[in-house]
Amino acid sequence: MQPRSGNDHPLARGPSIAAIGLWQGGNGARAPLLSEAERARLAAVATIVRFKKKAQIYREGDRADAVFNIVEGVVKAYRTLPDKAEHIGAFLFADDLFGLAEEGRYVNSAKAVTAVTAYRIPVPALSGRLQGDATLEYHVICKLCHELREAQRHAMLLGFRSALARLAAFFQLLAQHQTAGNGAVQELYLPMSRSDIAHYVGLSLEAVSRSFRALARRGVLRFRQKRHVSVLDRGKLAALAAENGRAGKAAGRPAP
Amino acid sequence: MQPRSGNDHPLARGPSIAAIGLWQGGNGARAPLLSEAERARLAAVATIVRFKKKAQIYREGDRADAVFNIVEGVVKAYRTLPDKAEHIGAFLFADDLFGLAEEGRYVNSAKAVTAVTAYRIPVPALSGRLQGDATLEYHVICKLCHELREAQRHAMLLGFRSALARLAAFFQLLAQHQTAGNGAVQELYLPMSRSDIAHYVGLSLEAVSRSFRALARRGVLRFRQKRHVSVLDRGKLAALAAENGRAGKAAGRPAP
DNA sequence: CGGACGCTTGATGCATTTCAATCATAGTGG
DNA sequence: CCACTATGATTGAAATGCATCAAGCGTCCG
């Protein structure tokens, strides 16, 4: 259901990862990293797995037997605190890798946000492939750098003190993902619930809802349905994401 | 001045990186990844550089000519917003790498927090070394995974809604860094200013100051000087970091 | 058609931001 | 060598924005 366009692997040719270039300047878009041969070699050790919406893929602390590569769908990587609060560390999309481990255990839990199709690559097999294949390793390095930058962007977002700024930044991330490839300004689809968004941006569910409305009222966004949004004013969005503090206050100050 | 113990490279044997194991379980501590030979090979293409406290190492958007490996000292990686606000993405220590790029440009600025000694490795040279050396590449992958986990932990910290929780988490990070190696409970040294801490945890400088005092009052910390702290109650610290919301009210509740 | 779930909306309290002044510390020059 | 000034840190008081509690509404799926 998620409109991933421009990608013509009908879940066939093997694992695929994409990232923005590291040292050689590109066009600013994510580009596929693996050659046909590399994909084929990885396909030999991978299996296709499917998860339905809300399915648990693994839990924090489980033995990390495999790494996953998304073909289609959206996954959330999260941690649950003792007091039940949930923090979402990342949303993962097609051509992303997930299954980060520490000393043989997954460092966070993963759950399917939408229906998901993915390659499952057992760790021993991957390890083996990596040892011998320097080019593949280099591509993985590029992908990891990409994920590192994304994690830093997320941390950046969470550093904002105002709810509007955080959500503006969130929409920029989303827009970057769904616009990637063509520069066309299309409608965005929100694959995740308000609650997931709240857990990702570090706000309460209600604050997210209110901020959405505020952004719509200000003419920045337009909701066609609850999960279908258009960005009307990309400039204002960027301004909100940049102006951290409570800036927009100057006008409309109520009398005490 | 920063007491980095247990590390016997008198800035000699070449670059060094350390990380917690990925798939093979270790002791829970960071272990050096590079062999003598690898270090020597990297040393051949690296130069030693020194920065004094507060020196700018590079700025966001500069051409990314080199990657750095810290021998001694502390560096902050940060971004400055149009409205002058500063977000610190990471503090970097000995055996860390920094200089992350995107399309040939650094993605954030780097500044020396203390006096710093580092190896500077030009990108073309590093690139060349990596292409041929599968083992070195594997070690870099491990290190990147480590940094990725750290970035996620940072995002986690920023997800906390209470100031006390964020600072408790911050101290846990710091303790993990300075305790690494021996399990001894020693005094912590804060290499960075209150302002830097504030920019790292996403709070105002004043909130940091007040929270420090609150933690001291509660018997969790003890400040010998402004930058010398002892963790008196590791348990309470963990509890605060875990109990996200305003929970810590139950215990030690002062009379109204 | 009904129930559950996700989302919106309202009212209140509190934590943190903000503004502002004072206090330490360290670094500098007389 | 000590006073002096910048810089960093603390503390106070007021205001604001978010969390929280609580209810109402829409929608999807059984």
Contacting A residues, span 88-127, partner chain B, CB-CB under 8 Å: 89-90, 100-105, 107-108, 123, 127
Could you give the residue ranges of the DSSP H alpha helices within B113-133?
123-132
B19 touches chain A (CB under 8 A): no
CB of A169 within 7 Å of some strand D atom: no
| pLDDT at residue A40 greater than cutoff 70 | yes
Contacting B residues, span 44-73, partner chain A, CB-CB under 8 Å: 64
Q: What is the pLDDT of residue B170?
A: 97
- The nearest CA of chain A is from the CA of B38 a distance in Å of 16
Q: What is the pLDDT of residue B10?
A: 54
What is the four-CA torsion angle of B17, B19, B25, B27, rounded to 10 degrees?
90
pTM given for the model: 0.90
User: What is the helix (H) or strand (E) element at residue B212, kind and residue range?
Assistant: helix B205-217
| pLDDT at residue A15 greater than cutoff 80 | yes
Beta bridge partners of A230: A222
User: pLDDT confidence of A167, banded at 50, 70, 90?
Assistant: very high
| pLDDT at residue A173 greater than cutoff 70 | yes
Nearest Cα to B22, choosing from A4, A137, A106, A27? A106
Residue B113, judged by CB atoms within 10 A of its CB (0-12, 13-18, 19+), counts as buried
| HEC readout, A70-125 | EEECCEEEEEECCCCCEEEEEEECCCCEECCEECCEECCEEEECCCEEEEEEEHHH
- What type of residue is B122? P
Asked if residue A46 lies in contact with residue A121, where contact means CB atoms within 8 angstroms, the answer is: yes
Which residues of chain B neighbour A137 with C-beta distances below 8 Å? Answer: 130, 134, 137-138, 141
Q: Which nucleotides of D are covered by protein (CB under 7 A)?
A: 8-13, 16-22, 28
Segment A128-142 shows an average pLDDT of: 93
**Of the partner residues A26, A89, A127, the one whose CB lies closest to the CB of residue B155:** A89
A249 touches chain B (CB under 8 A): no
Please report, rounded to whole angstroms, the spatial distance between the CA atom of protein residue B228 and the C1' atom of nucleotide C18. Answer: 28
Nearest Cα to A45, choosing from A17, A73, A14, A18? A14
A86 touches chain B (CB under 8 A): no
